[in-house]
Each structure stands twice: as C-alpha cells, then as structure tokens.
Amino acid sequence: MSSDTIHVHQCALIITLRCTLNCKLCLVYAPYYKDPKDYPLSEVERSIDTYFKLIDTCGTFNIQGGEPLIHPDLPAIVRKVAQYRGRIDKILLTTNGTLLPSPALIKVLSEFKESIQVNISDYGPELSKKVPQLITVLEQNLIPYHVINYNGSHIHFGGWLDFTDHTLKHQTEEALIENASKCGYRNGGNLAIRNGEIFFCYRVARRIELGIIEKNELSCVDMFDHRTISEKRQNIKEILNAKYTPACAYCIGKQSGAVHHPPAEQLTKEELVTGVERI
C-alpha cells in the first residue's frame, strides 16, 4: 500500500440523531439532544461522495443513528454508500430491533446483499420488540444479518462503557498517550461522519458541542470548507497518526478493563429533562 493511501479501519455515518429508545449511555448521546434531527439526503450524499475523495479504502462502513430506520431516505442513502462497495470491505446497517424495514429498504438491501449486512442490537423483548419479525423478513429475502446480544448472558463486550463523564482525567502528555494507546477506537482508525464533518470518534464531536474542546483541525475535518482535497487528506492523515486527540484528556477510552454497565438502560422522564452528562 502506498504511503499516500489512506485506509480507515472503521467509519460510522451518522444519518439521524432521532431514536426510538432513550439509552442512558448512548454512544452518540442521542437522548441528550433537545431537538434531534435527520440529516438531509442531499447533505448525506454529498458527505459520502466527499469522504471517498478523502480516503481510499475502508474496512467497515457503518450506517447508523440514532435509529437509522427512522430516516425517510434510508433506501437512497444505502444505495449511495453501495456505489463505493468496491472500496469497502463490509457495509453495515445497525438497527436496534424496534422497527421493521420498509419495502423500499428491503429492495435495496436485497440488491446489494453481497456487500451489506444488517447488524441488530438486541436489547431484549421489552425494548427490541421487533427482532423476531425483523429476522424473519431478512431471512425471507436472503439478506445477511448479525444479532448482537445485549441482554441476558454473554452480553457483547461485557456491557456498555460510560462516556457521559466528560470531566478532565488525563493532564500530562504521558498520561494522554498511555490512555489513547489502550483505546479500541484508535486501532487502525475509527472515524465518524456527521453533518459534513469527520471526527476521530463521536466523543470528539460531543465534547466540541459541549464547549469542552475547541473545534479545529486537530479535532475535526470540515469536508465542505475552502481547502483542497489534498489539504483535507493531509489533515485526515494527521488525525489518524496523532498519538491522541484533544478529547482523549476527558475520556476513559474503549478499554476492556474499564467498568462495564448494563446496556440500554432507559433514561427516566426527569433525566431526559435534566440530562446526566457530567462536565
């Protein structure tokens, strides 16, 4: 592989922050947005096209939310991503098992079933009520799927990590480097695309929104700004090769040794109003 080639281990495309659940430790903080929105199709398609000008190949490309099946233009978004399937090892569509796919979505998933897998996060029958029906629909149409178990025994990754604590944790460069080196999100490069911007991970995006870190070229790549494609590619290389991001100072990192929590605990009505993020 050429030194000029940019390969990203994993990328998450956030197409909506709306969700059918209110999970306390949501990785994209969906319940904490007072007015969550679907990102417009034109913007999402432009983001996808620009992203594949800025990187060369991708291991997994995950279409997600929030709950992506909420987005009215999901079939068109899947089709747009599938245009780049020759440069992606695996396209994933992650859903929480609360909704069933539309006929239009089934059609496009069937068309590209050699390249796309539906990942179903199963939080148990009380929350992920549609999982049995969803599996039946996917099997009837020969669409590949994988169920990620988040209830009962043998919970995936042992449970969820708490990234809602944004207080300062690592003050020296040595501590920052050590923490980041152990973080699973830094293994090979894990990027998040949202609203025309690329972040190393979603924790970076959230800490920019909360005013904890600055929005600059060390934390974010604006895909639609005035810079050339070459300049933006160099920016991505710098972020991928950096020993840590500014947001790492406030993070526990994705580490197997960190405290794990029961998945998909739902926020109470009071918590939805007040929020439980700690700054």
Q: Which residue has the higher pLDDT, 276 or 165?
A: 165
| 262 touches 159 (CB < 8 A) | yes
- pLDDT-based confidence at residue 189 (cuts at 50, 70, 90): confident
Q: Which residue has the higher pLDDT, 41 or 256?
A: 41
Give the residue among 93, 13, 2, 7 at the shortest CA–CA distance from 46: 13
pLDDT of residue 1: 53
Average pLDDT over the chain, rounded to an integer? 95
pLDDT of residue 188: 67
Per-residue pLDDT, averaged over 31-49, amounts to: 96
What phi and psi values does residue 17 have, to the nearest 5 degrees? -110, 5
- pLDDT-based confidence at residue 187 (cuts at 50, 70, 90): confident
- pLDDT-based confidence at residue 32 (cuts at 50, 70, 90): very high
| 133 touches 274 (CB < 8 A) | no
Per-residue pLDDT, averaged over 208-215, amounts to: 96
pLDDT of residue 2: 61
| 94 touches 61 (CB < 8 A) | no
The domains located in the chain, with CATH, are 7-274 (3.20.20.70)
pLDDT at 277 over 70: yes
Task: Specify the amino acid at residue 134.
Answer: L
Give 9-59 as a 3 state SS string: EEEEEECECCCCCCECCCCCCHHHCCCCCECCHHHHHHHHHHHHHHCCEEE
* Cα 172 from Cα 116, distance rounded (Å): 42
Q: What CA–CA distances, in Å, run from 219 to 56, 143, 192, 215, 246?
A: 21, 37, 12, 6, 7
| 88 touches 121 (CB < 8 A) | no
